[in-house]
Amino acid sequence: MDAPVRGRRLRDLRNAFTLPPGLAPANFPATPAGSSATELATQLARRIDPTFTWNDLAWLRSLTRLPIVLKGVLTAEDAARAAEAGVVAIVVSNHGGRHLDPSVTAIGALPEVISAVAGRCEVLLDGGIRRGTDVLVALALGARAVLVGRPVL
Protein backbone atom coordinates (compact mmCIF):
# COMPACT_ATOMS: atom_id res chain seq x y z
CA MET A 1 0.00 0.00 0.00
CA ASP A 2 2.94 2.29 0.58
CA ALA A 3 3.21 4.87 -2.22
CA PRO A 4 1.23 3.02 -4.90
CA VAL A 5 1.68 5.97 -7.23
CA ARG A 6 5.06 7.55 -7.81
CA GLY A 7 5.12 11.06 -6.42
CA ARG A 8 6.81 14.12 -7.83
CA ARG A 9 9.95 14.52 -5.79
CA LEU A 10 10.23 18.26 -6.13
CA ARG A 11 13.61 18.41 -4.44
CA ASP A 12 15.04 15.93 -6.97
CA LEU A 13 13.55 17.90 -9.86
CA ARG A 14 14.76 21.24 -8.47
CA ASN A 15 18.26 19.88 -7.92
CA ALA A 16 18.30 18.16 -11.35
CA PHE A 17 19.12 14.86 -9.67
CA THR A 18 20.74 12.25 -11.91
CA LEU A 19 22.41 8.96 -11.23
CA PRO A 20 26.19 9.28 -11.20
CA PRO A 21 28.11 7.81 -14.16
CA GLY A 22 28.58 4.08 -13.78
CA LEU A 23 25.77 3.68 -11.25
CA ALA A 24 22.45 2.10 -12.17
CA PRO A 25 19.72 0.99 -9.75
CA ALA A 26 19.94 -2.76 -9.09
CA ASN A 27 16.15 -3.09 -9.06
CA PHE A 28 15.78 -1.30 -12.42
CA PRO A 29 18.57 -2.71 -14.60
CA ALA A 30 17.11 -1.12 -17.73
CA THR A 31 17.64 2.35 -16.28
CA PRO A 32 20.96 3.70 -17.55
CA ALA A 33 23.47 5.59 -15.47
CA GLY A 34 22.95 9.33 -15.73
CA SER A 35 19.15 8.99 -15.72
CA SER A 36 17.29 12.04 -14.44
CA ALA A 37 14.76 12.04 -11.62
CA THR A 38 11.97 12.17 -14.22
CA GLU A 39 13.36 9.16 -16.10
CA LEU A 40 13.72 7.21 -12.84
CA ALA A 41 10.12 8.07 -11.89
CA THR A 42 8.92 6.87 -15.29
CA GLN A 43 10.76 3.56 -14.90
CA LEU A 44 9.29 3.05 -11.44
CA ALA A 45 5.76 3.96 -12.54
CA ARG A 46 5.90 1.15 -15.09
CA ARG A 47 6.59 -1.36 -12.31
CA ILE A 48 4.01 -0.28 -9.73
CA ASP A 49 0.40 -1.38 -9.97
CA PRO A 50 -1.69 1.42 -8.44
CA THR A 51 -4.85 -0.71 -8.49
CA PHE A 52 -4.12 -2.70 -5.31
CA THR A 53 -7.34 -3.43 -3.44
CA TRP A 54 -8.38 -5.27 -0.31
CA ASN A 55 -9.38 -8.16 -2.59
CA ASP A 56 -5.72 -8.44 -3.63
CA LEU A 57 -4.72 -8.73 0.01
CA ALA A 58 -7.28 -11.52 0.49
CA TRP A 59 -5.91 -13.25 -2.62
CA LEU A 60 -2.36 -13.01 -1.28
CA ARG A 61 -3.52 -14.34 2.10
CA SER A 62 -5.09 -17.34 0.29
CA LEU A 63 -1.76 -18.22 -1.33
CA THR A 64 0.48 -18.31 1.70
CA ARG A 65 0.76 -19.10 5.36
CA LEU A 66 3.67 -16.68 5.63
CA PRO A 67 3.04 -13.66 7.83
CA ILE A 68 1.93 -10.57 5.94
CA VAL A 69 3.11 -7.13 7.00
CA LEU A 70 1.20 -4.27 5.37
CA LYS A 71 3.08 -0.99 4.96
CA GLY A 72 1.57 2.40 4.26
CA VAL A 73 -1.42 2.46 6.63
CA LEU A 74 -2.36 5.97 7.79
CA THR A 75 -6.01 5.76 8.89
CA ALA A 76 -8.01 3.97 11.55
CA GLU A 77 -10.33 2.55 8.88
CA ASP A 78 -7.49 0.97 6.90
CA ALA A 79 -5.84 -0.29 10.08
CA ALA A 80 -9.02 -2.01 11.25
CA ARG A 81 -9.54 -3.54 7.82
CA ALA A 82 -5.95 -4.79 7.68
CA ALA A 83 -6.28 -6.38 11.13
CA GLU A 84 -9.54 -8.04 10.04
CA ALA A 85 -7.74 -9.35 6.94
CA GLY A 86 -5.27 -11.18 9.18
CA VAL A 87 -2.03 -9.27 8.70
CA VAL A 88 0.47 -9.87 11.49
CA ALA A 89 1.69 -6.29 11.46
CA ILE A 90 0.95 -2.86 10.07
CA VAL A 91 3.65 -0.34 9.25
CA VAL A 92 2.38 3.18 9.74
CA SER A 93 4.17 5.07 6.97
CA ASN A 94 3.70 7.95 4.54
CA HIS A 95 6.84 6.95 2.64
CA GLY A 96 8.81 9.64 4.39
CA GLY A 97 6.44 12.31 3.13
CA ARG A 98 8.40 12.34 -0.12
CA HIS A 99 5.49 11.34 -2.31
CA LEU A 100 2.57 13.24 -0.89
CA ASP A 101 4.04 16.31 0.78
CA PRO A 102 0.93 17.47 2.61
CA SER A 103 -0.05 14.00 3.81
CA VAL A 104 -0.52 13.15 7.45
CA THR A 105 2.68 12.30 9.28
CA ALA A 106 3.28 8.74 10.38
CA ILE A 107 3.63 9.78 14.02
CA GLY A 108 0.39 11.78 13.72
CA ALA A 109 -1.49 8.73 12.46
CA LEU A 110 0.03 6.31 14.97
CA PRO A 111 -2.40 6.77 17.91
CA GLU A 112 -5.55 6.23 15.83
CA VAL A 113 -4.02 3.19 14.09
CA ILE A 114 -3.04 1.61 17.40
CA SER A 115 -6.52 2.25 18.78
CA ALA A 116 -8.19 0.78 15.68
CA VAL A 117 -6.25 -2.48 15.67
CA ALA A 118 -6.89 -2.95 19.40
CA GLY A 119 -4.07 -5.47 19.80
CA ARG A 120 -5.12 -7.68 16.85
CA CYS A 121 -1.75 -7.14 15.14
CA GLU A 122 1.56 -5.44 15.77
CA VAL A 123 1.97 -1.79 14.80
CA LEU A 124 5.34 -0.53 13.58
CA LEU A 125 6.28 3.02 12.65
CA ASP A 126 8.31 4.13 9.65
CA GLY A 127 9.09 7.70 8.73
CA GLY A 128 10.13 10.88 10.47
CA ILE A 129 12.71 9.17 12.65
CA ARG A 130 15.81 11.34 12.91
CA ARG A 131 17.11 10.70 16.43
CA GLY A 132 16.71 8.41 19.39
CA THR A 133 14.08 10.58 21.03
CA ASP A 134 11.85 10.08 17.97
CA VAL A 135 12.07 6.33 18.60
CA LEU A 136 11.16 6.80 22.26
CA VAL A 137 8.13 8.94 21.39
CA ALA A 138 6.87 6.31 18.91
CA LEU A 139 7.31 3.53 21.46
CA ALA A 140 5.62 5.62 24.16
CA LEU A 141 2.65 6.14 21.82
CA GLY A 142 2.35 2.36 21.47
CA ALA A 143 4.41 1.32 18.45
CA ARG A 144 5.89 -2.16 18.87
CA ALA A 145 9.01 -1.17 16.91
CA VAL A 146 10.40 1.62 14.76
CA LEU A 147 11.97 1.19 11.33
CA VAL A 148 14.94 3.39 10.52
CA GLY A 149 16.67 3.98 7.22
CA ARG A 150 17.54 7.61 6.70
CA PRO A 151 19.37 8.08 10.04
CA VAL A 152 21.58 5.13 9.12
CA LEU A 153 22.27 6.57 5.67
Distance CA 22, CA 130 (A): 30
- Asked if 99 is an active-site residue, the reply is no
Residue among 95, 98, 120, 144 flagged as catalytic:
95
- Determine how β-strand 69-73 pairs with β-strand 122-126: unpaired
3-state SS track over 22-47: CCCCCCCCCCCCCCEHHHHHHHHHCC
Strand arrangement, sheet containing 145-147: 69-73, 89-92, 122-126, 145-147
H or E segment to which residue 1 belongs: none
- Helix (H) or strand (E) holding 64, with range, is none
Residues 6+ apart with CB under 8 A from 26: none
Catalytic residues: 95
